Amino acid sequence: MSSYPQPTEERAQELISNYNKIYEKVQSLNPKTKLIAVSKFKPSSDIMALYSQGIRHFGENYVQELIQKSKELPQDINWHFIGGLQSGKTKDLSNKIQNLYSVETIDSLKKCKQLNNARERKEGDIINVFLQINTSGEEQKSGFLEINDIYEVIEYLKSEECKKLNLLGLMTIGSFNESTSQNEENQDFKKLVDLKNQLDEKFNLNLQLNMGMSNDFGQAIKQGSNWVRVGSSIFGARPTKEEI
């Protein structure tokens, strides 16, 4: 373990304390909900602080950063790719990260096929996937908008043709307005729940829900989320893109 990047004692305490606060809140709302620690832009030594406590699920947004971290960190980490998926990067994702647990941002049939085919050629383990749904309909957000495109990608994922991907569920981000509104229900999360129910019935599935971040994970769990992705509440504020 000493060969891995290590945090200072002070930083380790801070991270563990932050994580535990979030974890306790998640547990109190639903002990079955799983917490993904989103470590983008944060050093590998931060990840090791949590790793030393037995935490294994981490989320990253950038392929190059993820490849770098996966190389220098333990191989039993479960990496979740949660960033915008680019066609040109699906091959690297598949081939350069053996312990890739999931890709949560599948937003087209084309990229879905590329990811499967790259994995098939390299004979790696099966990758879990979530379909990203653009529930808020905002232009700057990725994700499926059209129901027929969703049907088509599910049919592909269920087919013999697709051997290396396992459809785990649906992911959404939702709008900032919904995440900060005082409404009883987040309407974007509700859309994801309704879609899950519809797809479960049509395709005989039991899709998991992946929604909720630092601002709104409590609400997401109340609305049934199986996974939450929490970054800044654990690791602290991130530098903005311009500062990097």
Question: Residues in the site for ligand PLP, rule: CB under 6 A?
Answer: 38, 40, 61, 82, 173, 213-215, 229-233
**Are the C-beta atoms of residues 235 and 16 closer than 8 Å to each other?**
no
Q: Which is nearer to ligand PLP, 127 or 211 (CB)?
A: 211
Cβ burial of 243 (10 Å; 0-12, 13-18, 19+) is exposed
Q: Which is nearer to ligand PLP, 70 or 105 (CB)?
A: 105
Q: Which is nearer to ligand PLP, 160 or 243 (CB)?
A: 243
Closest CA to 46 of 70, 20, 16: 16
Q: Which residues contact 9 (CB under 8 A, 6 or more apart)?
A: none
Tokens, residue 22: 């979030």
Q: How far is CA 38 from CA 2, 196, 197, 206, 213, in A?
A: 23, 24, 27, 25, 9
Q: Which is nearer to ligand PLP, 137 or 161 (CB)?
A: 137
- Name the residue whose CB lies closest to ligand PLP: 231
In whole angstroms, the minimum distance from the beta carbon of 158 to ligand PLP comes to 25
In whole angstroms, the minimum distance from the beta carbon of 22 to ligand PLP comes to 9
Q: Which is nearer to ligand PLP, 180 or 198 (CB)?
A: 180
Q: Which is nearer to ligand PLP, 89 or 162 (CB)?
A: 89
Hey, how many other C-beta atoms are within 10 angstroms of the C-beta on 231? Answer: 21
In whole angstroms, the minimum distance from the beta carbon of 206 to ligand PLP comes to 23
Q: Which is nearer to ligand PLP, 90 or 172 (CB)?
A: 172
* Residue appearing with tokens 């879990």: 128
Grouping H, G, I as helix, E, B as strand and the rest as coil, residue 2 is: coil
Q: Which residues contact 16 (CB under 8 A, 6 or more apart)?
A: 49, 50, 53
In whole angstroms, the minimum distance from the beta carbon of 217 to ligand PLP comes to 8
**Are the C-beta atoms of residues 60 and 40 closer than 8 Å to each other?**
yes
In whole angstroms, the minimum distance from the beta carbon of 123 to ligand PLP comes to 29
Kind plus residue range of the DSSP H or E element containing 210: strand 208-210
